[in-house]
Structure 1
Amino acid sequence: MMTAVHPMPRRGRFTAGMLLGLFFFAGAVQASEGGSIKAGREAAQSCAACHGDKGNSNNPAFPSIAGQPAKYVASQLTAYRDGKRENAIMNGQAAGLSDQQIRDIAVYYAAQGRKVASPADEGSELGADLYHQGREGVAACAACHHSDGYGNQPAGFPALRGLTAGYAAQSLKDYRSGARAHGQAVLMIPLAAELSDEEIDALAAHIASLD
């Protein structure tokens, strides 16, 4: 696993757009999320079957959602419910959720501690460089998701530590293809569009090594 200290991110040509997006999303979360942790705990009982106790998954097929920003969780659940993001399991699970239940579930998971059970033993030098420094045309992932993948709660940017390489790679490919085109996709689509398959796999390998 890589533990090297990396320099500050280098700005790519999409950095200006990313900064505008930061202001937009950060401003959108100034108001209260309006959810109840207690109610969310009750509403999220069925989620544990796939996402684990308190949102920490032990199954590589399902991502951990503990500690994810409430805004991010709410946006994903809403997208699944409304058919804007497709997944056979999640579309069905979210179909009957009200707006209030989504807010409750979101704040519940945001309040849970995120644990990384088994980070990948090996990362990727190319992936680490892209994640921390970016390249021409691709801003560094660390600028929004933290150098160690903790995400950004106030801005609603998700944590990446604890994601498997397969899940991270598929997410990037879905942004690149436009399959994920809701919420923060306004920031991710132009960045992912610049990434090759090799770069996506390298980034995913590095993300999977974050602990």
Structure 2
Amino acid sequence: MGLTLLAAQPSHAADTPDPAAGRTIAESGVLTGHVGCSACHLMNGAGQPDVGIPRLAGFSAAYIAQQLDFFASDKRSNSWMAPYARMLTPRQMQDVAAYYAALPEPPPAENDPAGDALRARGKEVFQKGDMAHGVMPCGGCHGPAGQGMGAFAPHLAGQSAPYLLEQLRQWHQGKDRDPMGKMMVTETHAMADADMQAVAAYVQSLPAPNAGGTK
């Protein structure tokens, strides 16, 4: 009886994302003649902060897979990402998400041109908000160290300041960006552009919280 019961149990191994397969996708893509994710986001997931390409290391696998699905289904518009996301099956999205989520986070960008005063203002807005103008603290959802909350509120610490500023400005202008963006439209509508710049500079300067720990 015991052996029969054990044999009847379904195997979930095939449902488990494979970071090794994800590494191959990141390195070589899935179609001949097309580059992989690493062409822009790099194999270490650091992105390219100087041109606003976001880092992926540090994001949760759930968030990366969610965004890939949004790109593939046109729920998030991006002329660069949509074609690549559409090449991937749902399983391949899970695999490449698992690969990048498992990477150690690179250190914050070097040669940060932002001044101490700008980062100090960014820290104030991130941690305390600007209640006089109806701006809530970013850390309320993204965590006091920018560690995020899975797919709901992504990990931000060390993210590219140009990329963050671009996203904040889009939300401030009322663009949802993706199905999760309505909250950010509400959160940023009263933010001054100077504060968006400050928050972006501060977040980029944050070290990886709990390096090697929970994401």
TM-score with structure 1 setting the length: 0.75
Match of 1:93 in 2: 84
Structure 1 unaligned regions, length at least 5: 1-32
Residues 16-58 of structure 1: CA deviation (Å, up to 9, x unaligned): xxxxxxxxxxxxxxxxx95222222222221111111231235
Query: What is the distance in 1 between the residues matched to 2:56 and 2:76?
Result: 17
What percentage of residue pairs aligned between the two structures are identical? 30
Match of 1:198 in 2: 194
Tell me: CA distance 1:163–1:67, structure 2 relative to 1, closer, same or farther (3 Å). closer
Which letter maps to 2:175?
A
Shift of 1:207: 1.6
TM alignment of 1:1-211, pairs within 5 A: 34-45=16-27, 46-61=36-51, 62-119=53-110, 120=112, 122-123=115-116, 124=118, 125-136=120-131, 137-153=134-150, 156-211=152-207
CA contact (8 A) 1:78 1:94 kept: yes
Shift of 1:171: 0.8
Query: What is the distance in 2 between the residues matched to 1:138 and 1:54?
Result: 34
Tell me: CA distance 1:103–1:167, structure 2 relative to 1, closer, same or farther (3 Å). same
Instruction: From the CA coordinates, give the structure whose radius of gyration is larger.
Output: 2
Match of 1:10 in 2: none
Structure 2 unaligned regions, length at least 5: 1-14, 28-35, 208-215
In the comparison of the two structures, how many residue pairs are matched?
178
TM-score with structure 2 setting the length: 0.73
CA contact (8 A) 1:181 1:189 kept: no
Query: What is the distance in 1 between the residues matched to 2:178 and 2:48?
Result: 27
Match of 1:14 in 2: none
- The Cα RMSD (Å) is 2.2
